[in-house]
Each structure stands twice: as C-alpha cells, then as structure tokens.
Structure 1
Amino acid sequence: MQGGYNTGKDVSIDINTPTGPIRLSKLMNFDSKPKVTNQEITPLNGLTDELMIPKGWTGTFDAERVDSTLDDWWAQFESDYYNGVNQNPATITETIQEVGGGVTTWRYTHVILKLEDAGKKEGDKTIHQSMSFTARRRLKV
C-alpha cells in the first residue's frame, strides 16, 4: 500500500494445477478481465435494452525466468496431451491485502493455462516468459 492505494506488492498469486503448484519466485504481473457477451434488444418502440451475460474470465501473467518451472509445466502438458492423458483444469487464488487492513481472496476456477512465450534469450538480458489463462468463474473466498 502506498498513500492509501493498493499496489501490485499487495497481491499474491497461487497457481495450482492437477500435477501440483506452479511456484514463480519472480512473478512480474498478473492481469485478469471478465468476459461477457452483450446482446442488444430493440423493440418496435425504439428503446434499446442490453443484456450482459458473464462468460468467465481471461488473463495473463508474466515471470522472469529463474528456473525451468514454466518450461517443465508446458513439457508435462504436451506429454500428457500426446499420451492421451486427460487435461484437467487448474485453479488460481488471488489474495489482496486491502488498504483498510483486511484481506480479499478470489479463486478462479476451471482454469486453462497456456504458455504464450517461453522467452527470448539474449546475452546480458533476463528471459521474460508469459502465460495466459481462461477461467470459468472468479469466486470470492
């Protein structure tokens, strides 16, 4: 917290997959957004109503590579896929330390993870990796 505002330092993320947790010591950011479908309904009187239907969540997170955690997870995912192993979803738990002293916890359920970028390798530069996800729901715990 800084000056009465939440900052990224107030947030912790736990990613739990069917094969175990993904522990990222250098998680750099986490972004989540609700997905919705909108439908406009305009009757003959011309007054339009709009229906907004929740369709889950989508998001991304980035990490600086300090070990093979994400590479290992993706290798296992690929191996399971090609060996006909059922791909079960994960969960993500987001915990926020609130400015007023409380804690808010959100759980993303039925999470499908995707390695978006295993990272560009260059001399004298860190390797930045990124993942995306979709989730069926975000529930307040």
Structure 2
Amino acid sequence: MAKPYSIGRDCRITFLWNGQRIDIRDVTSFVASQETQALRANPLNGTPLEFNVPNGWRGSFQIARANAALDNLIAAIETSYWNAGIIGSGIIYQYITEADGTTSTWEYNNVSVNLQNDTWQADHMIHQKIQFFASTRVKIS
C-alpha cells in the first residue's frame, strides 16, 4: 500500500556555506515560513484591496549534535566578519519524497544564519538550533 501523506521522515536537508557542504548529519526538525510585505489600497469608491509581495523566507532547523560542524561554521562567520568585514551566505536544499514516490527539491538562496540554541545538560543529547533567513525559495525539481 502506498503512503497517502507526507511524514517527517520524507524530508532531507543539505546545507552549503560559501559553496562548501556543512556536515549536519542528524537534522531532527526543519521549519520554513514565507514572509510577505502587504501592500494595501483603500479606494474611495470600493472595498479595500491588499497584495502580498514575496519578501523572503525565515525558518530554522535543529540537529542532534554529532560533531562540531555548526560550532565551527559560526566561529568561521564571526572570524571572517571581525577580520575582514565579510559575511558569507549559504544555500539550503530541501528534498521531499512525495507520497507518489517522486522527489521535490527546493533551494533556499542567500541564506544567513545564527545559532539560536546550544543548551548543554548532563545526561542529555545536545540539540542545536539554527535560525535562517533566505532571500528566495526556488523549486529545482
């Protein structure tokens, strides 16, 4: 029997920063929300009109920490900024296995990131959360 709906396991994430793949092995969640800017007209002779103009994507992903990849990335971003005033950008690829067996691929471009959550506790798995902003999301396949 074919599966009728998408489930969380149907999603895979690949993250590139300045053209290099970042080894984020165990992504445990991924969230992306479209941002828009509302443009509004209030005609004297009619009802209000509103148009939502695309204005990027904001989201986050969480990993179960298996290595220092995200810590190293954040350190490299900070060092690059403080030493040369340069902030790079990344690309996120989201691969979704659809219910019919096909794969949808989405590319988030001009990604900026910040490490949101890095909580360490005794006898707990360490989960790190990255928030991101992307200029666009483009369908690749």
Give TM-score scaled by structure 1 length: 0.92
SS of structure 2 residue aligned to 1:52: strand
Q: In the alignment, is the contact (CA less than 8 A) between 2:19 and 2:90 conserved in 1? A: no
Aligned residue runs from structure 1 range 1-141, under 5 A: 3-18=3-18, 20-117=20-117, 119-141=118-140
Cα displacement (A) at 1:8: 1.2
Runs of 4+ in 1 over 2 A off after TM superposition: none
User: Which runs of 5 or more residues in structure 2 are unaligned?
Assistant: none
Rounded Cα–Cα distance in structure 1 between residues aligned with 2:116 and 2:19: 20
Cα displacement (A) at 1:40: 2.2
Cα displacement (A) at 1:39: 2.2
Give the share of equivalent positions with the same residue, in percent. Answer: 29
**What is the number of residues matched between the two proteins?**
139
Amino acid at match of 1:135: A
Give TM-score scaled by structure 2 length: 0.92
Greater mean alpha carbon deviation, residues 50-59 or residues 84-93: 84-93
Amino acid at match of 1:49: L
Cα displacement (A) at 1:3: 4.1
Q: Render the CA deviation track for 1:3-28: whole Å, top value 9, x for unaligned.
A: 41111111111100116211212211
Amino acid at match of 1:129: Q
Q: Render the CA deviation track for 1:50-92: whole Å, top value 9, x for unaligned.
A: 1111001111001111211111111111111110152221111
SS of structure 2 residue aligned to 1:74: helix
Amino acid at match of 1:121: W
Rounded Cα–Cα distance in structure 1 between residues aligned with 2:19 and 2:103: 28
SS of structure 1 residue aligned to 2:84: coil
Greater mean alpha carbon deviation, residues 12-21 or residues 127-136: 12-21
Rounded Cα–Cα distance in structure 2 between residues aligned with 1:102 and 1:19: 27
User: Which runs of 5 or more residues in structure 1 are unaligned?
Assistant: none
SS of structure 1 residue aligned to 2:71: helix
